[in-house]
Amino acid sequence: MSSDKAESTSELAHALSATPLRPSLLPRQLSEDEFALFARVGVAREVSQGEVIFRRGELGRSMFIVEAGQVQLEFGDGLPDKIIGAREFFGELVLFIGSHTRVANAVAFGPTTLRIVDQETFEHLISTEPRLLAQFMRRSFSYLVASEQQLIQSLKRRNEDLMVTLDSLRQTRTQLSTAQRLVQTDELSGLCNRRGLYMFLERLGEHRLPGTVLALLLVDLDRFKQINDRCGHLVGDQVLRAIAEEVQNAASSVDVPCRLGGDEFALLMQVTGEEELCARATQIIGAVRALRFPGCKDGLAITVSVGGSLCGEHADWAVWYSDADAALYEAKGRGGDGYHVAIPGSVRCVV
């Protein structure tokens, strides 16, 4: 380092520590001496209203002084814009740390006259006008620190607002999930209802297991009206819940047990073939036969009829239901307490 430069640097450092702030000036306002200095060395530039001086994200290399007119700084990201007026400066950070990415758009708010001071000119002024530059730099540093603290507080507030918003979204999502679950669930049995079944059918392809075929069982309580008449509706509801539990027990994790309404239940399954389909029907019938309800005179034993079929891959729910319902009607016609399964090419019935 040359002796002249070392001396000017030392003098500047001394001036930075010794020069008092001038509270009468606005944070970005230049003193008369500072303005006269920058106006003398800066390059003049005339800009018209709406003209972009620089854009956010651009690499900056110069500071700007407003000689006449106004400039609007647009920070974006929800931060307020700022208006820079006559005898004020902006873009000064590049002079202190070298090339710097602009953090705002600078747009002429009206016809404006600027003075542009580049880094080389600023460094020359440090050598020739150290006391004046120290005054300017000290005030600039104070403003930058205050702006940074203000930004930190703003970000903290925005972070708090964001956390509140996220918490609200989580609560809303939970409420929506709960509402959706209630809409898709039968209140009495806790099984899927028709709406839930239809929604599952819409995305059935996402749940298919390789090596399986679709099958449907329809489960209908035998002589349900007599149970209600003899034992009352409370016992009737207890019976329905018990059957729902046995239908649920016969389902795997990829199956959909459902209460279609009244005393009719359905189990949409993915099975390996007719043997497993018949085994599931047998399981449900046997489990229901073993149920007893002491709330009725002499206890109450119940039975169900089950109709089932394998589902054609290219058919829809209406066809699947029609085939299984025909099989259920056949089981009912044989006196109930059994199942009838229709298999393409053959028929199996157990009573």
Burial class for 63, CB neighbours closer than 10 Å (0-12, 13-18, 19+): buried
CATH of domain 194-342: 3.30.70.270
pLDDT digits (tens, 9 = 90+) for 268-314: 999 999 999 999 999 999 999 998 887 676 668 899 999 999 998 88
Cα separation of 255 and 268, whole Å? 6
What is the second-level CATH architecture of the domain 24-156?
Sandwich (2.60)
Spatial contact of 261 and 194, defined as CB atoms under 8 Å apart: yes
Cα separation of 221 and 288, whole Å? 10
- Identify each DSSP E strand in the chain by its residue range: 43-47, 52-54, 59-60, 62-68, 71-74, 82-84, 89-90, 100-101, 105-108, 112-118, 213-221, 256-261, 264-271, 304-310, 338-343, 346-350
155 or 126, higher pLDDT: 126
Confidence of residue 19 (pLDDT cuts 50, 70, 90): very low
| 263 in active site | yes
Which of 14-28, 62-76, 214-228 bottoms out in mean pLDDT, i.e. has the lowest?
14-28
Torsion of CA 200, 201, 203, 208, to 10 degrees: 100
pLDDT at position 215 over 60:
yes
Which residue among 186, 220, 255, 263 is the active-site one?
A: 263
347 or 280, higher pLDDT: 280
> What SS3 state is found at 270?
strand
186 or 20, higher pLDDT: 186
**What number of residues does the chain have?**
351
Spatial contact of 117 and 90, defined as CB atoms under 8 Å apart: no
* % of the chain residues with pLDDT over 70: 83
The pTM of this model reads: 0.51
Q: Which residue has the tokens 């298999």?
A: 343
Q: What mean pLDDT, rounded, does the chain reach?
A: 83
Closest by CA position to 50, among listed 77, 27, 74, 86: 74
- Domain-by-domain residue ranges, the chain? 24-156, 194-342
Cα separation of 220 and 285, whole Å? 10
pLDDT digits (tens, 9 = 90+) for 307-335: 999 998 888 999 999 999 999 999 999 99
Range 265-270 average pLDDT: 95
pLDDT digits (tens, 9 = 90+) for 34-53: 999 999 999 999 999 999 99
Spatial contact of 243 and 222, defined as CB atoms under 8 Å apart: no
